[in-house]
Amino acid sequence: MIKNKASFYKSLFFALEGLYVCIKTQLHMRVHIVAAVLAISMALMLKIQRIEWICLWGVIFLVLITESINTAIESTVDLLTKEFHPRAKVAKDVAAAAVLLASILAVIVGSLVLYNPLMTYIKGV
């Protein structure tokens, strides 16, 4: 049970504002969203199974989440230091690596989920 609805809605608003800022300011977030829309469109066309949808949505959200966290880390590091610092570089590079790993996983899962239905669709055309 929500004790304070106003506080809940304020928190929800701030979260949506953060998502908006991430989409508006981060090219890679927009690229990930375009890739997600393409994968979802293909999955709809190919009529994939429920478990495949779960896998697809899981990796899509994993990539979007890691990109959001990467943006937060980069913004925080930029706020804390304007000059080059090796540990700041490590923080930013490791956060970017997390997005890269999530993206690689998404490509692997997307390929595994969509390959057979796509081949079946192509043979049937």
Residues belonging to the active site: 67
Tokens of 9: 């809605």
Rg, the chain, Cα only: 18
SS3 state of residue 48: coil
Q: Which residue has the tokens 């610092």?
A: 85
Could you give the residue ranges of the DSSP H alpha helices within the chain?
5-25, 27-46, 50-80, 86-124
Cα distance between residue 93 and residue 74, in whole Å: 9
- What single DSSP character describes residue 26? -
